[in-house]
Amino acid sequence: MAEKPIINPNNLKIEGWYCTDHFNKSTLILLTKDIRDIVPQGLAIDDYDRLSEPEDLVRLQEILKINFELIGKHTITDQKRKLGKVSDYAADTNSFTVQKLYINQPMYKNLTGGQLSIDRSQIVEITDKHIMVRDVDVKVGSPVTALLGIR
In a domain, 83, yes or no: yes
9 within a domain of the structure (yes/no): yes
Of 78 and 107, the structure prediction assigns the larger pLDDT to 78
Task: Give 112's pLDDT tier (boundaries 50, 70, 90).
Answer: low
Domain that holds residue 21: 2-66
pLDDT single digits (tens) 82-97: 999 999 999 999 999 9
Q: Does 121 lie in the same domain as 81?
A: yes
Position 139 scores a pLDDT of 47
pLDDT value of residue 122: 95
What is the value of pTM for the model shown?
0.81
- Using a pLDDT cut of 70, give the percent of the chain over it: 84
| Segment 24-80, tens digit of pLDDT | 889 999 999 999 998 888 899 999 899 999 999 999 999 999 999 999 999 999 999
- Cβ pair 133, 118 in contact under 8 A: yes
Q: Read off the pLDDT of each residue in 104-115 and give the average, rounded to a whole number.
A: 68
Nearest to 19 by CA among 31, 3, 6: 3
CA atoms of 38 and 34, how far apart (whole Å): 11
Q: What is the mean pLDDT of the chain?
A: 86
Of the two residues 146 and 60, the one the predictor is more confident about is 60
Same domain, yes or no: 53 and 101? no
Q: What are phi and psi of 62, to 5 degrees?
A: -60, -45
Q: Do residues 61 and 94 share a domain?
A: no
Task: Please check whether residue 145 lies inside any domain of the structure.
Answer: no
| CATH number of the structural domain spanning residue 102 | 2.30.30.240
Q: Is residue 37 part of a domain?
A: yes
Residues 82 and 46 reside in one and the same domain: no
The answer, yes or no, to whether residue 149 has pLDDT greater than 70, is no
User: Quick one: 7 and 62 in the same domain?
Assistant: yes
What are the φ/ψ torsions at residue 9 (nearest 5 degrees)? -70, -15
Q: Which residues pair with 39 in a beta bridge?
A: 42
Q: Please tell me whether residues 35 and 78 are part of one structural domain.
A: no
Indicate the number of domains in the chain: 2
81 and 46 share one domain: no
